[in-house]
Amino acid sequence: MRALKFVGYIFVLLIVIVIAALFFIDIIAKFAIEEEGTKAVKAKVEVDSVDVRFFPLGASIYGLKVTNPQAPMTNAFEAELIDANLDWEPLLKSKVIVETAALEGMRFNTARSVTGAVPGLTPPPSQEPSLVDQFKEDMKLPAIDIPDPSELLARVDLKTVSMAKEMEASLSARKKAWKERIDALPNKETLESYKQRIKALKEAKNPLERLQAVAKVKDLQSDAKKDLQKIRDAKSDLEKEVAQLKADLAKVKAAPQEDMKRVMELAGLNPGAWEGLAKALFGDEVAKWANNAYMWYGRLQPYINGSGEEAQKSAPEPDTTDYSDGLPRFLVKTLSISGKLPIPQQDVPFSGKFNNLTDRADVWGKPAQLALQSQAQGVGKLDFKGVLDHVTAVAKDSFSFDLTDLPVTDIVFSDKEDFPVTLSKAIAAIAGKADITDGKLAMNVDAKFLEVQLANLLEGESAPLKKALLNALKNISQFDVNMLASGALQDPEVKITSSLDKILSQSVKGLIDEEKKKLSGKVQAKLNEIVSEKVGGLDSELNGLVDINALLQERIGDFSNLL
């Protein structure tokens, strides 16, 4: 009897435990999602509530917020509702197979009231320049102010000055060396000594002394020839050095031309520079969009890599999953999605479907397909399609989009104090296509802006270049932009062109040529002053060596006459 009572107690306890587990399962699920999600993202993942159901098996997650670990005061992603219906049988094989799911109320890059960083888990901000920083570095407005000639010259390490200093030091050292060599050569005293000795020998009176004198004169003449050869060798060496020094001096005198070219390049007064104005004006916005696109493409990779290259690069733990049933470990067959896309200064509502989202496309045998549409009143029409084919070892992803009748407002093209430009209003039509094959990007985007109104343009500007540019911008009512990107996905070569390039370059070409000519004259005058000071004395220094050559020639003549 006691045994029966004990079994009864155990049975009741089990029922209580099951009921308690069922009662608290939503809380447990919420905790698990937040805990494991935070570990995976390395920043806070928060959920308002979770509703787990068993018949049919599924769950609903409400109020999901995922912090951007690189910007903890921003949510990378939000969703009002995630609802999924799962299959029971695959769960027994540790597989999550979702027949249908819904992802509603999606929003991106939303502000947080408190930081989502987790001490000891969230990494510090990357010190590497972001894609936006790289674009900003490459996309700068050309110079629109006429620089001061003295300031320009001070910013350039003038080759003329350094070469002149080197030659001045070389001339000084060579003059010293030649002075020492000349002092050691036979001179007038040596020549006079020869003359006196020969004269004394020639005055011998008896025949024997005369015979001895003839032999001694020949010895003196032999010594004189040797001294003459020393002088000739010195003259030859000096002539070679002078020739080389004249060539060096010619290079010094030619250096100002090269310096002038470098100084004028630094001035930036190049009409061709304005043909790249579009890249400077639109680069910041392009970088922000590209940065977001790269971020989300990267976050999709773990779910679509299949047997592709990225999966093979890593070294995961051995996969012991049984794929004989043709099912991957994770699969969402049909995902209905809706939300708002962050277009500059507004959000565009969208809806669509994401089919065959899986971590092993090679097992499932079908590429993931994404289709988004939007036809909301007053915010334009969106048509986006994507195919992420990771079925084979070489991943091939392609995307196309068409956005029409999009009202855009308050896009800052340039925030420079001396040349601010803001697109106040316009109607945009943007279409593009991107292919990513084996980590290589090929993208083409065309954008047209109609009913354009630009704002924040400077008024009453007197500087000629700025005035011409501002007048041209004020008259623009429409323009187009084309962007081409190719190469490695993380570091593509980007080319941006626009009809603005031609309009603005034509408006300033004549003025730039005129201002460049004026500046060139002023810079040349300043440079001539520097050249005169640094180079002028080199001629006289070199002439000092030439004078030594004349002295040697004179000695050669004197010794030759002796012989």
DSSP per residue over 13-75, as a string? HHHHHHHHHHHHHHHHHHHHHHHHHHHHHTS-EE-SEEEEEETTEEEEEEEEEEEETTEEEEE
First-to-last C-alpha distance (Å) of the chain: 152
Q: Using CA atoms, how far apart are residues 43 and 252, in angstroms rounded to an integer?
A: 62
Residue recorded with tokens 């988004």 = 372
pLDDT of residue 310: 42
Diameter over CA atoms, the chain: 171
* Residue in the block written with tokens 């004028």: 264
Give the burial string for 22-48 (b: 16+ CB within 10 Å, else e). eeebbeebbeebbeebbeebebbbbbe
Residues 505, 274 contacting (CB under 8 angstroms): yes
pLDDT for the residue numbered 204: 64
Write the single-letter amino acid at 253. Answer: K
The per-residue pLDDT for 387 is 92
**Among candidates 449, 439, 509, 508, which has minimal Cα distance to 482?**
449
DSSP 489-553: TTS-EEEEEEHHHHHHHHHHHHHHHHHHHHHHHHHHHHHHHHHHHHHHHHHHHHHHHHHHHHHHH
- The reported pTM is 0.60
What's the pLDDT at 209? 65
- Spell out the per-residue pLDDT of the chain, length 563, in tens: 433 333 333 333 444 444 444 455 667 767 777 888 888 888 898 989 888 887 787 888 899 898 888 889 999 889 899 888 888 888 888 888 888 888 899 888 888 999 989 898 888 876 665 544 554 444 454 555 566 777 777 777 778 788 888 888 888 888 888 888 888 888 888 877 777 777 776 666 666 666 666 677 677 777 778 877 887 888 888 888 888 888 888 888 888 788 777 777 766 665 555 555 655 666 556 556 665 665 556 655 655 554 434 444 445 567 788 888 888 888 889 989 998 877 766 777 889 999 998 888 889 999 999 998 986 666 678 898 999 898 888 889 999 989 888 888 887 777 777 778 888 888 888 898 999 898 888 989 898 989 988 887 777 766 666 777 778 778 888 888 888 888 887 778 878 788 877 777 777 666 666 767 777 777 777 777 777 776 767 777 777 777 777 777 887 777 777 76
* Spatial separation of the C-alpha atoms in residues 65 and 425, rounded to whole Å: 32
Other C-beta atoms within 10 Å of 410: how many? 13
Select from 559, 561, 553 the least CA-distant residue to 235: 553
Q: Are 97 and 86 in contact (CB under 8 A)?
A: yes
pLDDT of residue 371: 93
Domain ranges of the chain: 149-272+517-562
